[in-house]
Every structure is written in structure tokens, then in C-alpha cells.
Structure 1
Amino acid sequence: MLFERYLSTLVRPKKHLGQHFLRDLSIAERTAEAVQFRNSILEIGPGTGVLTRYLLDRTEDLRAVELDAESVDYLLGEGLLNQNQIIQADFLRLNLEPLFSQEFSLVGNFPYNISSQILFKVLENRPRIPECVGMFQKEVA
């Protein structure tokens, strides 16, 4: 409970971006544990980094795509990710080709307003993305 209150004072989810920050540590840990292909991982929408912390324990090649500048500043300020690991961009417009030289897993607590489009992009890039592990809102699933 204290951890949740601490996070809520730092970065607030922005409804217009479809953000809903993951706060449950056990869900974050189980999500990270579900990733089988761990050579390289791309996290979509790391927000406050709750899932990111568990993913960092499982791979040496983690990148994250975050549209929200406030979240990017927070992740960099906390030292959770460095400039080479975080990409401030819209995932749907991002060229995935130069991110990794090999296949990678896609992981995230997906923003509800672009969940379907994320799945379509994964399917379009299926040869490069052998695995997608993520959380969707009930309405999307």
C-alpha cells in the first residue's frame, strides 16, 4: 500500500494516452516470468517501471518505448533505464527494424486505446516477434 501511494505521487496516468499504470508487484513478476524468449525484450509503455524492474532481471537486452515525456523523465531520473534503452516514441509509428539485430519478445501493460493496433503490428512483424506477453483490459480481450 505504501509503495502504491509513493508511485501515485510521481507520475499520473494520462487518460488521453490510454495509460493505466501497473502497480501490483505480483502481477508484474508473473508477467515477466511468463516471458520465454529472453534474449531481447521490447517493453511497450513502461510507465513508472514496475514491470520494467522484473524484466531487467531476466535479460541484458531490454528496450522500452514510452510516448509520455513525464514517464521517460521519471525512468531516466530513477536510473531504471538509460538513454540507450528508452525510446520516446509512438510504438505504432516506430520502425522496429533497427531496434534489435535479432528476434525479440514484446511485453507490456498495453495502453487500452491502442491494444488492438499493437496486436496488428505484432502480426505484421511476426518473423521478428516470436512472442508477445502482455496485459489487456477486459474489454479488449
Structure 2
Amino acid sequence: MPKEIISLNLKRSGKNEPWGFVIIGGKDQNLTVKVGKIKPYSAAEAAGLKTMDYVWQINGKEVFDMTHHECVNAIKDSGTSLSLTTERGDHIVPNFEEIWPSKKGPIAERKKRGLEYYYDAMTNGPQLS
């Protein structure tokens, strides 16, 4: 399925009724905000929200600089109406940080020398430290 941008309007009968979905990610987690789970027969399911939809906006506000907690609060504080802009499709490129984390991992801590370094670098990339 080609990627598409979808605007969804969720409605609920009262502020205490759950929206029926879980989000994962946020700027603080270095992950793109996306839908993790949908509860059956919920407002989210009725509006057409799908698992793994990437969230672009919550009530017209872009989520790219929002932490996970800020996204959750924006959703919770929506009253009885919630507007989401999402991206859905097979060819969605994830956040750069998800592909190439900026934090040094175990590979960066290798202490190999000579031919051992060369073979290790050919397999795992060059030593960064």
C-alpha cells in the first residue's frame, strides 16, 4: 500500500472514557511517535486508527519535538474530541535516530589491533573511539 496522510477525528461521550489506543515513541525516546495498540470497539477503532500508524499531529500540533509524556498529555487533555493526522503505508521511513543511533554502542568499544582490527572493521565497521 502506498503511503498516505490521513486526518482522523475521534469522539467520545465523556472525558473519563478512554480513547482506546496506545502510542509509542517521542523525542525523548528517539523514536517516531506511532500507534502501538488499538482496543477493539473503541473510539480509536471507530475512527479508523490503525496499529503502526505514524502520528504527525495531535489537535493540529506537530509531534516531532514532543516527548512521549507531552504526546500522552495532549491526547488525554483533548476533552471529547481528538484530531489526529497520521501517516500510513508500506514505505514509511523511520526517524533517522532509529536507523543510526547517535549513542556509541558495544561496537564502538572494541580494542582490536592490526589484522584483528582490520577483519573486525570489515565485519562491524571501523572503531570509533
TM-score (norm 2): 0.21
**Larger-gyration structure (1/2):** 2
Structure with more of its chain in helix, by fraction: 1
TM-score (norm 1): 0.20
Structure with more of its chain in strand, by fraction: 2
